[in-house]
Structure 1
Amino acid sequence: MSFQIKSPGEAYDVIIVGSGAGGGMASKILSEAGFSVAVVEAGGDFDPAKEEDRTQLRPPWESPRRGASTRNRPFGDFDAAIGGWDIDGEPYTRTEGTEFDWFRSRMVGGRTNHWGRISLRFGPNDFKRKSIDGLGDNWPIGYEDIKPYYDKVDQLIGVFGSKEGILNEPDGYFLPPPKPRLHELFIKKGADKMNVPVIPSRLSILTKPINNDRGACFFCNQCNRACQAYADFSSGTCLVKPAMKKGKVDLYTHAMVRKVTTDEKGLATGVSYISKVDMKEYKLKSRVVVLGASACESARIMLNSKSSNHPDGLGNGSGMVGRYLHDSTGSDRMGFIPDLLGRKKYNEDGVGGMHVYTPWWLDNSKLNFARGYHIEYWGGMSMPSYGFGFGMDTIRKYITDEFGKPSQNGGYGAGLKKDIRSYFGTMVGMSGRGESIPRYENYCEIDNNTVDKYGIPVLKFNYNWTDQEINQAKHMQDTFEEVLTNSGAVLMGEKAGPDSKYGLHAPGRIIHEVGTTRMGDNPNTSVLNSNCQAHECKNLFVVDGGPFVSQADKNPTWTILALAWRTSDFIVGEMKKKNI
């Protein structure tokens, strides 16, 4: 593993900016093809198997905050996420009326260290939405173009699930799924009454070994803490570090990329970055530059990469870099199940995520919104996190209101402990994650009046939800209420109404932003071609969520991985032909 700067004049074949899903996949494929690769990461090194990085299976008293969140650990001390929506010295701005929260990960592996491992393929319809509802644009590729790469990703990384034969929820190569837990069986009972499908989840967690480098899941329900057995997928443990062992890969950490450098012909020659260690600027050279820094960060780098050949930013002659930014929609509801009060306590931890989920099941042509959503379920008796128990008075109130008998145990001491033990395992919840409509009017741009602490101009966001997303959120809330009630749950809190956009999270909060460097056949309306190659700079590629034309009602990671593999194969072919 090298952190050294190459000597002047010495160049890599490929520089990859970012070590998340797309950058990690590119590092593996390109290095194994024999090319020298530099991976440039804005955060630090991270390995969940090392004691200094391990968060898995640590008890609350090992944190002075008992696991509470901090500025750079927004999901808590015991979550693997390092970064957040608010990073010291790395601001971003918004236009008036915009609600957009931008999550940046600052660690090797990026967001793949702490995500939900929900590993869904886009379906045939997801690439051709304009042909179906007339909104947005079709992708220049179809499911048949990416299917071979989904197959490869399934087999390389591992994903559990079940073959269901649903047209737009394509089956893959699945490991055995875990059985539903008790709270999930209650939810399924309620969903069955409404003909809402509930099927085994598709998560990239190894329920059985697939190679000698990674262990199988031991069901501690802590995938968000990153797995010391490497049983769940993260880019660092499954792609970047293996690539460094097998190929010619140098890793540069704490390196904040300022821009892509170009020559007199406008071609990429490498990158310029600021070292967070000494705050000095360095340059790396390469034949090819691959951006995988996340949709918005890659757009920022391109917009800041101005030159005489690219006066508005690298690859931005069309003015499309930063445009069509969109995030998944999200809305939630929770309740508690009285039938589970005082339940017997036993280990039902399972995997760190849902064992079952609901794919989109309705016909949008019969609804007042154009795109669908899937439903994620949560609850059960996993290890309590920071803040558990703070809602006991709320549960007591509902028990009193619903059953006419107040808590018998009091609000402190032994009585409180007895109540918590009784209530533990009764909570259930549902989260909708849906597709929004990509719009030219939703975008990020450079704020020329603000720089970060490295002197790099920051992004300004312009974003608003439309009635499409608000109507979808209302449908989520109506569905949640009916499913939970049919499950025997008592609903918690008031139902979200129009004043809160039916509980619709602010854009950026679901951390699925895509679309800022979208692909297309027309250089006037897109940034990249169908191989994720910049129309205006043939040796520049983007492998994160930026190339997406639309998001779909699925999480984007599996498609980022498949597209990155497809793009990397294209790069290998072009470099061997000496076209780039």
Structure 2
Amino acid sequence: MAFEIKKQAKAYDVCIIGSGAGGGMAAKVLSDAGLKVALLEAGPKYDPADPEQQTQLKWPYESPRRGASTTRPFGDFDAAYGGWEIDGEPYTQKNGTQFDWFRSRMLGGRTNHWGRISLRFGPNDFKHHSLDGHGDDWPIGYDDVKPWYDQVDKMIGVFGSKEGIYNEPDGYFLPPPKPRLHELMVKQAGDKLGIPVIHSRLSILTRSVNKDRGACFFCSQCSRGCTVHADFSSSTVLVKPAMKSGNVDLYVGAMAREIVTDASGKATGVSYVDKADMQEYRIDARVIVLAASACESARLLLNSKSPMHKNGLANSSGMVGKYLHDSTGASRGAFIPSLMERKRYNEDGVGGMHMYIPWWLDNKKLDFARGYHIEFWGGMGMPAYGFGFGMEGMHMMDPNRKGTPAGGYGASLKNDYRRYYGSTVGFAGRGEAIALESNYCEIDPTVVDKFGIPVLRFNYKWSEHEIKQARHMHETFEEIIHKMGGIPLGTKPGEETKYGLENPGRIIHEVGTTRMGDDPKRSVLNKYNQAHDAKNVFVVDGGAFVSQADKNPTWTILALSLRASNYIVDELKKQNL
């Protein structure tokens, strides 16, 4: 059960910091192996099936704000405790950096409110330097990770379709949901343009896989947390079963300060602040597993200074915090006249896209190095103020209105809502940035948070490759929109806005701060996510990534954490840790 420590804790085999994808997987594997595990989480316990925490299936009018500004980044009912800004937990920037750092403060971390887009990295994604000369190759390849991807597919569940695309590896898929009308229109346009549009791959159960989890009932509200645990969240799919083993003690409200080491430099425990009484406590463990998110884990290592680790734990290379990079992002909406005045029917589906566009081009023929995939939305979901209507300006594009203003009051307003509702679609590109040593996070020399812990300072700049990639995204969006018979909304962004490229950090895919490698002078971890400088310290979040891909990172975090956790079990048996 969850509890706060009021005195020196008992010693554990393993202490895990963070309960998201990497931490949850480590807790499940290590506890199943019989190890005694302490799992530290900076936020509260969370279960979307708990009536006091449930927000799924609530009506908009049930919000205490009734349309006023939300207290959560993605809406009052979203399962996101935390955000880009948290009171008392600042971070700083330098050299004009605009990096937005999302911190999750809840059991399960960001896996409670992510898009469940569960893509494997492909063979090329581990060896990009060999292909284009940029960045570095991983010390491992797809064949090293494939068996672990397979296990994750079977353990958690993911729907999709086998497509045989080399760099979009197929997995063990559940049946995908049927495409909705706007998705069929995108596919029709893609077929004409030579752009592949395939079933998406989301970790949502379209059929039940065990007695503890139900199948999706298509309410389209995965971001609120699923009451039947049909979608993947670490809190419900990994941590909850791990707790049943009796081998896990969960410490909530535990803000990790640093990793404690002995005179030889070996890690011996974790120092943390209990948010309940703001006092500091320590947990001792034989093995320390960091899974606090790429930047938070780097912060912990950098703050863990000692005579044997003067630049921070596992940082003899000076690489901790460096090579930080996030996915690129750009988006555009459109009005599709042929989707106006449709017959009303339930078009909710899963809480995400039923189809998507994987990267389909050869970068050797383009002026930027890495690719992107395209996500898209539309249809007749739950009506909400400002969503799904987009009447502003659309009436000018409606051939039947002849410029007559939309809206007004009473019946005319309702009629226009009905007329335009469901006629908008949106496209979002999510691409790979090149990992650069010049993009990094470091400890701010003067600023601390409300717990007295030194905060991170960011230095980040997009390269020309990411900017040109965003331009290509918008060109593709417009091609598809026009082929659908639609009209792009708003103005196409230009060079002055980096073609609508989002600030780094806004896509919440940051990775690379504790990257793996064979050379201890150029990397933090070895190929098993183990610190070169401290063999009983592991990092199993996105920090281990050498490079991102044109895919979301979560499935690879899970696979690598599963791989590293099995390695920990084997090394403990051999008494090597």
Q: Which residue number in structure 1 is paired with residue 297 of structure 2?
A: 298
What SS does the corresponding residue of 1:392 show, helix, strand or coil? Answer: coil
Deviations, residues 86-130 of structure 1 (Å, cap 9, x unaligned): 000000000031110000000000000010000000000100000
User: Which residue among 530, 533, 544 is the counterpart of 2:541?
Assistant: 544
List gaps (5 residues or longer) in structure 2.
none
Matches within 5 A, 1:85-164: 85-164=84-163
Q: Which residue number in structure 1 is paired with residue 236 of structure 2?
A: 237
Of the structure 1 ranges 5-14 and 76-85, higher mean CA displacement relative to structure 2 is found in 5-14
User: Which residue among 541, 550, 554 is the counterpart of 1:553?
Assistant: 550
Matched residues in 2 for 1:295 and 1:494: separation? 35
The yes-or-no answer on 1:569 pairing with 2:544 is no
Matched residues in 1 for 2:558 and 2:472: separation? 31
Q: Which residue number in structure 1 is paired with residue 259 of structure 2?
A: 260
Contact 1:435 1:551 in 2 (8 A): yes
Instruction: Give the TM-score normalised by the residue count of structure 1.
Output: 0.98
Matched residues in 1 for 2:344 and 2:103: separation? 38
Q: Displacement of 1:403 after TM fit?
A: 5.2
Contact 1:273 1:281 in 2 (8 A): yes
Matched residues in 2 for 1:84 and 1:461: separation? 17
Q: Displacement of 1:489 after TM fit?
A: 1.1
Q: Displacement of 1:10 after TM fit?
A: 2.6
Q: Which residue number in structure 2 is paired with residue 228 of structure 1?
A: 227
Matched residues in 2 for 1:320 and 1:19: separation? 25
What SS does the corresponding residue of 1:538 show, helix, strand or coil? Answer: coil
Matched residues in 2 for 1:456 and 1:51: separation? 35
Q: Displacement of 1:391 after TM fit?
A: 3.5
Matched residues in 2 for 1:83 and 1:300: separation? 18
Deviations, residues 313-361 of structure 1 (Å, cap 9, x unaligned): 0011110000000000000111011011111010011000000001100
Q: Which residue number in structure 1 is paired with residue 58 of structure 2?
A: 58
Deviations, residues 133-165 of structure 1 (Å, cap 9, x unaligned): 000000000000000000000000000000000
Matched residues in 1 for 2:69 and 2:26: separation? 32
Matched residues in 2 for 1:386 and 1:283: separation? 48
Query: Percent sequence identity over matched residues?
Result: 68
Matched residues in 1 for 2:483 and 2:385: separation? 30
Contact 2:157 2:209 in 1 (8 A): yes
Q: Which residue number in structure 2 is paired with residue 424 of structure 1?
A: 421
Q: Displacement of 1:395 after TM fit?
A: 2.0
Q: Which residue number in structure 2 is paired with residue 211 of structure 1?
A: 210
Q: Which residue number in structure 1 is paired with residue 26 of structure 2?
A: 26
Q: Displacement of 1:187 after TM fit?
A: 1.2
Against the structure 1 CA distance between its residues 523 and 219, is the aligned structure 2 distance closer, same or farther, given a 3 Å change threshold?
Answer: same
Q: Which residue number in structure 2 is paired with residue 17 of structure 1?
A: 17
Against the structure 1 CA distance between its residues 409 and 85, is the aligned structure 2 distance closer, same or farther, given a 3 Å change threshold?
Answer: closer
Against the structure 1 CA distance between its residues 69 and 144, is the aligned structure 2 distance closer, same or farther, given a 3 Å change threshold?
Answer: farther
Q: Displacement of 1:6 after TM fit?
A: 8.2
Against the structure 1 CA distance between its residues 568 and 6, is the aligned structure 2 distance closer, same or farther, given a 3 Å change threshold?
Answer: farther
Instruction: Give the TM-score normalised by the residue count of structure 2.
Output: 0.98
Matched residues in 2 for 1:158 and 1:283: separation? 37
What SS does the corresponding residue of 1:335 show, helix, strand or coil? Answer: strand
Q: Displacement of 1:389 after TM fit?
A: 7.0
Contact 2:371 2:431 in 1 (8 A): yes
User: Which residue among 441, 447, 468 is the counterpart of 1:450?
Assistant: 447
What SS does the corresponding residue of 1:40 show, helix, strand or coil? Answer: strand
Deviations, residues 463-518 of structure 1 (Å, cap 9, x unaligned): 00010000100100000000011011111001111111111000000000000000
Against the structure 1 CA distance between its residues 150 and 518, is the aligned structure 2 distance closer, same or farther, given a 3 Å change threshold?
Answer: same
Contact 1:66 1:386 in 2 (8 A): no
Q: Which residue number in structure 2 is paired with residue 520 of structure 1?
A: 517
Matches within 5 A, 1:244-323: 244-323=243-322
Q: Displacement of 1:422 after TM fit?
A: 1.3
Contact 2:222 2:351 in 1 (8 A): yes
Matched residues in 2 for 1:257 and 1:385: separation? 39
Amino acid aligned to 1:359: P
Contact 1:6 1:284 in 2 (8 A): no
What SS does the corresponding residue of 2:543 show, helix, strand or coil? Answer: coil
Amino acid aligned to 2:225: A
Amino acid aligned to 1:429: G
The yes-or-no answer on 1:459 pairing with 2:461 is no
Q: Which residue number in structure 1 is paired with residue 201 of structure 2?
A: 202
Against the structure 1 CA distance between its residues 408 and 311, is the aligned structure 2 distance closer, same or farther, given a 3 Å change threshold?
Answer: closer
What SS does the corresponding residue of 1:428 show, helix, strand or coil? Answer: strand
Matched residues in 1 for 2:417 and 2:564: separation? 52
Contact 2:396 2:402 in 1 (8 A): no
User: Which residue among 432, 435, 438 is the counterpart of 1:435?
Assistant: 432
Contact 2:121 2:168 in 1 (8 A): yes
User: Which residue among 481, 486, 498 is the counterpart of 2:483?
Assistant: 486
Q: Displacement of 1:7 after TM fit?
A: 5.7
Amino acid aligned to 1:43: G
What SS does the corresponding residue of 2:392 show, helix, strand or coil? Answer: helix
Of the structure 1 ranges 9-18 and 135-144, higher mean CA displacement relative to structure 2 is found in 9-18
Q: Which residue number in structure 1 is paired with residue 41 of structure 2?
A: 41
Amino acid aligned to 1:366: K
Against the structure 1 CA distance between its residues 391 and 522, is the aligned structure 2 distance closer, same or farther, given a 3 Å change threshold?
Answer: same
Q: Which residue number in structure 2 is paired with residue 178 of structure 1?
A: 177
What SS does the corresponding residue of 1:216 show, helix, strand or coil? Answer: coil
Q: Which residue number in structure 1 is paired with residue 379 of structure 2?
A: 380
Amino acid aligned to 1:201: S
Aligned length: 577
Q: Which residue number in structure 2 is paired with residue 469 of structure 1?
A: 466
Q: Displacement of 1:404 after TM fit?
A: 5.5
List gaps (5 residues or longer) in structure 1.
none
Q: Displacement of 1:4 after TM fit?
A: 4.5
Matched residues in 1 for 2:403 and 2:491: separation? 21
Q: Displacement of 1:408 after TM fit?
A: 7.5
What SS does the corresponding residue of 1:472 show, helix, strand or coil? Answer: helix
Q: Which residue number in structure 2 is paired with residue 189 of structure 1?
A: 188
Question: Aligned-residue CA RMSD in angstroms?
Answer: 1.3
